[in-house]
Amino acid sequence: MKFGVIVFPGSNCDHDAYHVISKHVGQPVDFIWHRETDLSTYDAVILPGGFSYGDYLRAGALARFSPVMNSVKKFAQSGRFVLGICNGFQILCEAGLLPGALIRNRDLHFICEHIYARVETSDSPFTNELTRGTVLRIPIAHAEGNYICDDNTLAELQREDRIVFRYCEKDGTVTDAANPNGSRDNIAGICNRERNVLGLMPHPERACEDLLGSSDGRDIFRSLAATVAAAV
């Protein structure tokens, strides 16, 4: 089993992701520079958070044209696992690997705080070790996390059980007050139709150690590792 963390110019959560895979998942992991195109030795890749290309034009818009992204598309089409966190989620949307877009937060602020996110489905490689309805305390850190999509896409996401995380209150109730950025339907994370690509705005890699205020993010990586172990 081998993980890769893709490094774009401006990625800044790449080391956090690497740390979590090597220390908590206990598996081999490489940094993959965005000019690489060979992903053949990997089972799962992570598109980390940060500000790829300085967020110029639109968050994630320019990273989509990095050479590695063609390989990421083929990697996803081959059924292997892709996890996009924060800026990684924005890149996956811009690249068309996930539907919708992430626009400016409704109140314009860059928000950096712990939020509560409810697991909406355990039918995904990233949440199969979690029970539906579990509330995770995970930090967010973004200015463009306001998930938007058209009515048809939203209906499709709901019908196909592809909303993986929703922002919620501590007790798990989904309310507008618990929605930090104005995301449609309180969406914090979604997966593709084949369920092997997940994008989420919260940072589970920053919530894997009690010392950092929460270790709720570990179950997401544990799920992914268990899925990969079963697949290889």
Partner 1 sequence: MKAKVYVNLKSGVLDPQGKAIQHSVELLGFSGISDVRQGKYFEISLDETMDNERALESIEKMAREVLSNPIIEDYRVEIEA
| Active centre residues (catalytic) | 86, 203, 205
Pick the closer one to partner 1 by CB: 183 or 196: 183
Q: Say which residue the tokens 């369920």 belong to.
A: 195
Pick the closer one to partner 1 by CB: 127 or 181: 181
Q: Within 48-87, which residues bind partner 1 (CB under 8 A)?
A: 57-58, 61, 65
Q: How far is the CB of 51 from partner 1 (least distance, A)?
A: 17
* Site for partner 1 contains 123 (CB under 8 A): no
Indicate the burial class of 96 (C-beta count within 10 angstroms; 0-12, 13-18, 19 or more).
Answer: exposed
CA 166, 168, 172, 174 dihedral sign is negative
Pick the closer one to partner 1 by CB: 73 or 104: 104
Q: Within 145-204, which residues bind partner 1 (CB under 8 A)?
A: 146, 148-150, 182
Residues in CB range of 200: below 8 A, 6 or more apart: 84, 85, 86, 89, 117, 164, 165, 188, 189, 190
Q: How far is the CB of 104 from partner 1 (least distance, A)?
A: 5
* Site for partner 1 contains 106 (CB under 8 A): yes
* Site for partner 1 contains 228 (CB under 8 A): no
* Site for partner 1 contains 107 (CB under 8 A): yes
User: DSSP secondary structure string, 102-164?
Assistant: EE--TT---EEEEEEEEE--S-STTTTTS-TT-EEEEEEEESS-EEE--HHHHHHHHHTT-EE
Binding residues for partner 1, rule: CB under 8 A, are: 57-58, 61, 65, 93-94, 99-101, 103-108, 146, 148-150, 182
